[in-house]
Structure 1
Amino acid sequence: MAERIMFVQLKTGHGTDQGPAWISVVRFNRSWKTASWRGRTLRRSLELFDANYLDVETQEEYWLSGPHRDGGDTRYSRIRPTVDDDARDAYEAFLAGAPLPGRERG
């Protein structure tokens, strides 16, 4: 499985871009259609309104994307994500200008 440092935001039960958010290590299957995050299995969906992944067990909707250096990870709010310990060093290096692991070539 490919591992990436990702911005993850819970969409279900929250106003637009108001849900809790994290910078986390997310593991993707070979086709990138399934993600594993914090013991959850998230499946890619193009049918959701404000999310791009759906928890297969709870049906909660999530937005997953690569983090932005300027902190502008949400479109309509300035929610600050919680940075998970296993992603902290790589994320801080990214904010200082380094590429994210697995994204050295873009």
Structure 2
Amino acid sequence: MRRVMFVQLKTGFDTDLGPSWIGWVDFNRSWNTARFHGRELRRTPGLWTGNFADVETGETYWISGPKRDRTDTRYGPATTTVDEDAVEPYEAFLGGAPLPGRENG
């Protein structure tokens, strides 16, 4: 399943201050593995459902659906990078359209 998602790097940054992106994330059928920017991320058991860890580096990431009011980060950064190939569906989403793959909820 391929979806436009909010992704934030957590490792090496104070609470929710890591860099963040809006981009395409490919999930496996069980939603336990995600691929983003060439990284394989696996869901971290026992933590919040949005926590994933890079299988090679161990870095942790938060992955969630983007918010229309752009309040995806709690404390920062002030700007979230929108990947070039996600700009069009993300802007349509901000205008009220459903995200691709989420037309039915």
- What TM-score, normalized to structure 2? 0.92
Q: How does 1:27-38 map to 2 (within 5 A)?
A: 27-38=26-37
CA distance in 2, matches of 1:66, 1:77: 17
* Paired position in structure 1 for 2:84: 85
Percent identical pairs in the alignment equals 62
* Paired position in structure 1 for 2:69: 70
Computed over aligned residues only, the root mean square deviation of the Cα atoms, in angstroms, reads 1.5
Count of aligned positions:
104
- What TM-score, normalized to structure 1? 0.92
CA distance in 1, matches of 2:20, 2:87: 14
Q: How does 1:49-60 map to 2 (within 5 A)?
A: 52-60=51-59
Name the CA shift for 1:48/1:12 in 2 (closer, same or farther; >3 Å). farther
Does structure 2 retain, via aligned residues, the 8 Å contact 1:17–1:79?
A: no
5+ residue gaps, structure 2, are none
* Paired position in structure 2 for 1:96: 95
5+ residue gaps, structure 1, are none
Q: CA deviation at 1:101?
A: 0.3
SS of equivalent residue, structure 2 residue 86? helix
